[in-house]
Amino acid sequence: MDTNLLQKEVMNVIWAPCGSGKTTAAINKILPLASAPRRAIYLIDTHLGNERLAEHHKKELVMPSPFYAESIALSDSSWGEGMDKVCVTTYAQFGSWCRRYPRFEERYEHILCDEPQNLVNFSEIGKWAKDEVDINLHKIARAAICDAVNRGNVTVTGITATPKPLEKLKCGLYCVPIDKSNLRHFTENQIIRYSNLDVILDRIKLGMRGGIYMARIKQMKEVGKILRERGHNPLMLWSLSNEEHPLSAEQLNARKYIEKESIPDEYDIFLFNATAETSINLDNPIDFFIAHNTSETSIIQSRGRYRNDIDTLYVEDVRGFAPIPDSYLDRPLDRKELAVLRAHLGMKKDSKKRHEISVDDMLREFSNHGYNVEVGMRNRKQCFTIRKK
């Protein structure tokens, strides 16, 4: 990465795969461009990511002291602990400072935005709220960063594996050229698209280890209950600040362990949501990963939490196709039985309307996914026998 290519009046976007070393390169090559550590700031999307960065890069980064923002706003150079390090904080915290101090963003020479796609995503949560209590600090941070770009006084750089949401920003974007030929890139032996999560959960056997990403805590708890009933020991993690679903003491202890980039050995399956979608890196070897989401950004980011190759990646897709259970193979099935199979597989006709696919269209889909369908008669009624090719 050639830092001489960084520009003002645009957001410089460093686009590279998860696990390719973007964070380390940015800390080592971009932040030192500032005339002093206090003239640069490192912004990240989640508290968990903020804590992890401060822990893993103690020599370069420090979390803000209680008087940090005031000292920056007043240009007071005697801000105490960490004066030789760059401040790392969340977009929400930065938004609160920008709300308190006009044009606070202009106090910096370099603003480094980690996972800026979530600056966009989080700023759109509750965007119709009118109550002062519901003010979205991410929205304030987003506006301030765009203002910094458009005024041209600050060099703003974003590092991400999923830049598509950045197109919504009201500022120019510049994709910084980098040599990707030698970058690390983790792979999967197979990718299976599915429309019914229950079918995939049935494939998880005792002794297998894996991860599951899903957006809703309620559904996460339901899946965790199913897995426990089947003999697994799942770990579930969501936001530390969620008052409706507070984390247990066990979850809090595991959260501290995860900051060391590993899941405790006693857990075989890790379930998480957007809280950890971008903020953790895990070295645990796993057999499978389930991305229970149709957003390409969420799929790429959540899969990228595991920094190794995996055997199977399962991706939610309304038109996805999961393997047919053996109990439906090599025997005649009438249309009622096929309807039951359709419900089990969760096959849909339309990704928006989510209507069920017709039985005839389902049979044609089978032929496109490695199965032969033989038509016959049973008790004077048409029947169908499905066999693997």
Contact between 169 and 144 under an 8 Å Cβ cutoff? The reply is no
Q: What is the pLDDT of residue 91?
A: 95
Residue 165: name the closest of 275, 278, 276 by CA.
278
Q: What is the pLDDT of residue 133?
A: 41
Q: What is the pLDDT of residue 350?
A: 58
- The most distant pair of C-alpha atoms in the chain lies apart, rounded to whole Å, by 91
CATH of domain 3-175: 3.40.50.300
Alpha-carbon gap, residue 28 to 381, rounded angstroms: 72
Q: What is the pLDDT of residue 342?
A: 85
Contact between 310 and 190 under an 8 Å Cβ cutoff? The reply is no
Residue type at 369 in one-letter notation? H
Residue 93: name the closest of 51, 152, 35 by CA.
51
Structure-derived torsion over alpha carbons of residues 156, 159, 162, 163, reported in degrees to the nearest 10: 20
Q: Is the pTM of this model over 0.75?
A: no
Residue 223: name the closest of 257, 296, 273 by CA.
273
Pairing of strands 61-62, 11-15: unpaired
Alpha-carbon gap, residue 86 to 98, rounded angstroms: 18
Burial tier of 23 (Cβ tally within 10 Å: 0-12, 13-18, 19+): buried
**DSSP H/E element including 289:** strand 288-292
Strand spans (E) along 198-264: 210-214, 234-237
**What is the residue-level pLDDT of the chain in tens, covering all 389 positions?**
789 999 999 999 999 888 888 888 999 999 999 999 999 999 998 888 888 888 889 999 999 988 888 888 887 555 444 468 999 999 999 999 999 999 999 999 999 999 999 999 888 875 434 443 446 899 999 999 999 999 999 999 999 989 999 999 999 999 999 887 777 778 889 998 888 888 899 889 999 999 999 988 999 999 999 999 999 999 998 887 788 888 889 988 888 887 777 888 899 999 998 776 566 778 888 999 999 988 888 888 888 888 888 999 999 887 667 778 889 999 999 999 998 888 888 777 655 545 778 888 888 888 888 899 999 988 888 999 999 88
Q: What is the pLDDT of residue 354?
A: 59
Residue type at 234 in one-letter notation? P
Alpha-carbon gap, residue 119 to 145, rounded angstroms: 10
Q: What is the pLDDT of residue 67?
A: 86
Q: What is the pLDDT of residue 239?
A: 81
- State the Rg of the chain over Cα: 25
Q: What is the pLDDT of residue 362?
A: 86
CATH of domain 188-316: 3.40.50.300
Residue intervals in the chain for CATH 3.40.50.300: 3-175, 188-316
